[in-house]
Amino acid sequence: MTARIIDGKAIAARLRAEAAEAVKLLPAQPALAVVLVGDDPASQVYVASKIKQTAEIGMRSVEVRLPAQTAEDDLIQNVAELSADPEIDGILVQLPLPKHISEARVLAALDPLKDVDGLTEASAGKLVLGKPGLRPCTPAGCVILAKSERPDLAGANVVVIGRSILVGKPAALLFLEQNATVTLAHSRTRDLRMVCRGADILVAAVGRPEMVRGDWIRPGAIVIDVGINRVPAPEKGPGKTKLVGDVAFEEACAVAAAVTPVPGGVGPMTIACLLRNCVLAACARRGWTVPETLAAG
Ligand code: NDP
């Protein structure tokens, strides 16, 4: 078998187009505030990309850049001001923050109605309770990619490897919301290979390059690879590197029905879901009707 490659770029582009259509129908332009502390190169790339795509779908963005040595209280003050600003609909604090700053304290200052990353305690609580709310972006992207292959996830056996607050745990809850039967695996799981072989849908969010091998995958399964790992690529030349996922891609393609590539799978979905969340946040806070293009998803 040769698996279908799930085209995250194309699906993300469709989501962005839907968000852009929705923005046109709103009474005013939603605004996203992006807060970046320090000069981590990867974070700078992510933030630039988020700001560019915000503009592309017709929303306004406000960039707040603070030096790496910013005091925790000053950052909290900034986030609190953005939370109180009626012109701001979504706030994204780019993680990770410098080590001297508590992410939990900063997120606590963020108005849950503007929590477009879905990371505050209020958003997590709504997810657990099954109440409407802003869902974390990467896990939401995983569900959309899985549904692109299998629109009805009811009864599907989903195995999520990784239980982080950012990805694994919310992914498990989102698949549960879809009425899947969910197993949440982690570093203490016994016989992970056999657990994974029970999956109709296997979501790998571990951060270990190509850990999931072909013989961990049930023939015909759908594989969603969240991992982004930079590894040496001597075949490209001395000192060169490349990105790989948590799944051995070629091996997975020989067994699975469908696989997400890295890059070009889950990655593009994260920003698309963020933009979607920003439109939803604006509608919820300002009492606007959610345009139909977004209401369905
Ligand atoms: P974390 O390091 O926070 O969590 C990793 C999880 O994997 C933990 O729950 C850990 O278990 C589990 N784990 C580690 N080793 C093993 C093992 N040998 N067997 C089974 N489970 C194991 O990572 P994140 O969740 O933040 O990210 C995971 C990956 O996803 C990374 O590669 C990251 O770069 C990528 N990522 C991609 C995004 C995207 O947009 N595509 C967005 C966010 C992350 P335990 O809890 O027991 O320690």
Q: How confident is the model at residue 122 (pLDDT cuts 50, 70, 90)?
A: very high
**Helix (H) / strand (E) containing 68:** none
Residues near ligand 1 (Cβ within 6 A): 138, 161-164, 166-168, 185-189, 192, 205-208, 226-229, 266-267, 270
**94 catalytically annotated:** yes
End-to-end CA, the chain: 31
Tokens in use for 112? 């849950």
Ligand 1 atom nearest residue 229's Cα: 32
Architecture of the domain defined by 27-113+274-297: 3-Layer(aba) Sandwich (3.40)
Q: What is the pLDDT of residues 17-63, one digit of tens each?
A: 999 999 999 999 999 999 999 999 999 999 999 999 999 999 999 99
Residue-wise pLDDT tens digits, 217-242: 999 999 999 999 999 999 999 999 99
Out of 167, 192, 246, give the residue to mutate to test ligand 1, the one with the largest number of ligand atoms within 8 Å of its CB.
167
pLDDT the model gives residue 211: 98
Measured in Å, residue 164 CA sits from the centre of ligand 1 at 6
Cβ-contact 221, 240 below 8 angstroms: no
Q: For residues 235 and 232, give the distance between their C-alpha atoms in angstroms, rounded to a whole number.
A: 9
* Range(s) within the chain of domains with CATH label 3.40.50.720: 137-260
pLDDT (0 to 100) of residue 293? 86
CATH of domain 137-260: 3.40.50.720
Q: Could you read off the pLDDT of 162-218 as tens digits, one per residue?
A: 999 999 999 999 999 999 999 999 999 999 999 999 999 999 999 999 999 999 999
According to CATH, where is 3.40.50.10860 located in the chain? 27-113+274-297
How many alpha carbons lie under 13 Å from residue 197 in its C-beta half-sphere?
Answer: 9
Q: Is 117 a catalytic residue?
A: yes
pLDDT greater than 70 at residue 296: no
In terms of C-beta density within 10 A (0-12 exposed, 13-18 middle, 19 or more buried), how is residue 215 classed?
A: exposed
Q: Taking the alpha carbons of 6, 150, 269, 210 in that order, is the dihedral positive or negative?
A: negative
Half-sphere exposure of 55 (CA within 13 A, CB side): 8
Q: Where are the beta strands (DSSP E) in 7-76?
A: 31-37, 60-66
Q: Tell me, rounded to whole angstroms, the distance of Cα 154 from its chain centroid.
A: 22
* Contact between 177 and 158 (Cβ < 8 Å): no
Average pLDDT over residues 247-270: 98
Ligand 1 centroid to Cα of residue 208, in Å, is: 8
| Mean pLDDT across the chain | 97
Contacting residues for 208 by C-beta, under 8 A, at least 6 apart: 227, 229, 246
Tell me how long the chain is.
297
Residues 6+ apart with CB under 8 A from 15: 144, 269, 272, 273, 275, 276, 297
Selected catalytic residue, list 89, 111, 115, 117 = 117
